[in-house]
Amino acid sequence: MSELSVGNSPELLATDLRRFSRSASTSSASSTIDGGAETPSMEVPLDRLSVLDVLENLALSTRINQINYTVRRKGGEIKGLALRQRDRVLRGREEDIDRLKRRFLTSLSRFEAKWEDAQVVSQREKLAFAFGLGNVFASGLLLGAQPEWFHVWYSVQMCYLMPIRIYSYRKRSYQYFLADLCYFVNILLLVWLWIFPGSRMLFLSTYCLAYGTLAWAVITWRNSLVLHSIDKTTSAFIHVLPPVVLHCIHFRLDDDYKVRRFAGAAELKSLNLWEGMLWASFWYAVWQTLYHIFITVRRKEKIKAGYLTSFEWLRRSYKDTKLGLFVNGLPEPFPVLAFTMIQFGYQMLTMIPCPLWYHSKYLSAAFVFTIFMVASYNGATYYIDVFGRRFQKELGKLQSDVATWQNSSTPPSPVASPQNGISVVKAEQHTAADDDVDAIALTDDKENDRPPSSLMATTSAPGTRSKEQDAMEAKKDR
């Protein structure tokens, strides 16, 4: 210590300090292990340490702490800037999304208003009628000339008819009817056609369900083939075409093509009723479980708020019958269980003739043709009842107006007639264009969207139907 501090020049002192700094930076507590003995790598003599060395080390640690603090502070600023920029971008995206939503909803509202316009409705009905008639013709042509393309024809129609059905039902708050068994069977058929055509089990299940519950629903629910109505045409389509597709695959395709394309159908040489009921019951249980979870349980509050399901519709429609009184008289939750068992029994009952349809192409063709004719007859009844009631209403209005004119010595004043709010002046403004059949609307949302069985029996005034009545009648059309 005395050598460094006394009798030395400043140059020697600086030299000693640099040498000490190098030796101190290379000296550490590390050691070298050699043959199990621990030997110090370098020893620092204590008599060579000075106060300046200690202060320099303390200043170095202080600078290191300052650098760490600066780095942390700058890192926090950068992180905050990044978060603010992210929030700014997200807010901008949310505003863009909201703007796009408002623009889309505005466009949709304009489209709906235009879609409901009288001229558009008339033109839409004409196109729907032409489409429905052409659909029947094309189906028969493909079935006879190119049966190997009939399943493609069915799939294409499903791709554009079902989105229309989903949109229209959601708009009318009937979306829970889309979870019914008929739609589930159509999905099973599409899955077998395009994903698992080699599955014998899936083909057997789909065949029994299509020729059983699905086909007989045309008779049970009085589905109508009304060509000008897309909604009623879709209802007839999803019940009639699946049996026709399966009849075509089973009886109309060549054996070689069937083996290559539909191995599951080629493998099923004979239909065993008990096996068919077993697999059909399995898929029925799958559908019923999903329906109970996603509709009965998870949509319980909405159903209480007024949304209708098949079960609620049946409870209200048959509440005055013996079976309805029995089911509705059961304590909760037994009405749902009773409905499930009744529906399952109906399904088993309709599957009993399936072996006859499978083993005879003539019986199968006769059954499918009968189902189609029942739908056509229901549609014809709908047309006759609708136009018959409309003619009767117009005739009654005309008789009332004539009686009013005869009992009055003055011309009729422009006051609305008590019958349906139709102005008497409109009768005086009748022109030749009014006699054109194209000027007569084919449908009336407030009157004519009813099942055939209730068209002539109803006594309610036009425009006074409740939402519940609309839903009940839509279920029959379904």
Distance, C-alpha 442 to centroid of its chain: 29
pLDDT, position 163? 93
- pLDDT by residue (tens digit) across 330-368? 888 788 888 889 889 999 999 999 999 999 999 999 999
Q: So what's the pLDDT on residue 222? A: 85
Q: What's the rounded mean pLDDT across residues 168-194? A: 93
pLDDT of residue 446 exceeding 50, the answer is no
Q: What is the mean pLDDT of residues 456-472?
A: 43
Phi-psi region of 306 (alpha: psi -120 to 50; beta: other; left: phi over 0): left
Separation between Cα atoms, residue 215 and residue 236, nearest integer Å = 10
Average confidence (pLDDT) over 283-305 = 88
pLDDT of 37 above 70:
no
The 10s digit of each residue's pLDDT in 75-123 is 778 877 878 777 777 776 677 777 777 777 776 676 666 656 655 667 7
Worst-scoring range by mean pLDDT, 139-143, 222-226, 473-477?
473-477
Region of poorest pLDDT, from 112-121, 375-384, 431-440? 431-440
Least reliable range by pLDDT among 26-35, 58-67, 288-297? 26-35
Determine which of 68-77, 130-139, 255-264, 296-305 has the lowest per-residue pLDDT on average.
68-77
pLDDT of 5 strictly over 80: no
Between 133 and 438, whose confidence is greater? Answer: 133
Residue with more model confidence, 70 or 7: 70
Does position 261 have pLDDT exceeding 60, yes or no? yes
Q: Which residue has the higher pLDDT, 25 or 455?
A: 25
Contact 474, 174 (CB under 8 A): yes
Q: b/e per residue, 243-270, with b = 16+ CB within 10 A?
A: bbbbbbbbebbeeeebeebbbbbbebee
pLDDT range class, residue 273, cuts 50, 70, 90 = very high
Element spanning 219, H or E = helix 215-220
User: 369: buried, middle or exposed (CB in 10 Å: 19+, 13-18, 0-12)?
Assistant: exposed
Q: Provide the pLDDT confidence category of residue 434 given band limits of 50, 70 and 90.
A: very low
**pLDDT interval class at 477 (50, 70, 90):** low
Q: Which residue has the higher pLDDT, 275 or 437?
A: 275
Q: What is the pLDDT of residue 100?
A: 74
Split at pLDDT 50, 70, 90, the class of 35 is very low
- The structure tokens listed for 400 are 């009332």
Q: Give residue 429's pLDDT.
A: 42
Query: Cα(first)–Cα(last) distance of the chain, in Å?
Result: 107
pLDDT value, residue 437: 36
pLDDT > 50? residue 29? no
Report, as an integer, the average pLDDT of 142-166.
94
Contact 420, 462 (CB under 8 A): yes
Can you give the pLDDT at residue 47? 61
Asked whether 213 and 205 are in contact (CB, 8 A), the reply is no
Q: How would residue 60 be classed by pLDDT, with cut points 50, 70 and 90?
A: low
Q: How far apart are CA 10 and CA 7, in angstroms?
A: 10
pLDDT band of 203, cuts 50, 70, 90: very high
Amino acid making up residue 189: L
- Tens of pLDDT, residues 116-153: 665 566 777 888 889 889 999 999 999 999 999 999 99
Task: For residue 424, give both structure tokens.
Answer: 């008497």
212 confidence band (pLDDT: 50, 70, 90): very high
pLDDT score at 59: 65
Q: Give 119-156 as a 3 state SS string.
A: HHHHHHHHHHHHHHHHHHHHHHHHHHHCHHHHHHHHHH
Quote the DSSP letter at residue 371: H
Instruction: Assess contact for 348 and 277: CB atoms under 8 A.
Output: yes
Residue range 307-325: average pLDDT?
81
Average pLDDT over the chain reads 75
Containing 114, the helix (H) or strand (E) segment is helix 51-115
Cα–Cα distance measured from residue 469 to residue 478, given in angstroms and rounded to the nearest whole number: 14
Phi-psi region of 307 (alpha: psi -120 to 50; beta: other; left: phi over 0): beta
Residue 111 · residue 117 · CB < 8 Å: no
Question: For the whole model, what pTM was predicted?
Answer: 0.62
Q: What is the mean pLDDT of residues 410-437?
A: 41
| Element (DSSP H or E) covering residue 32 | strand 31-34
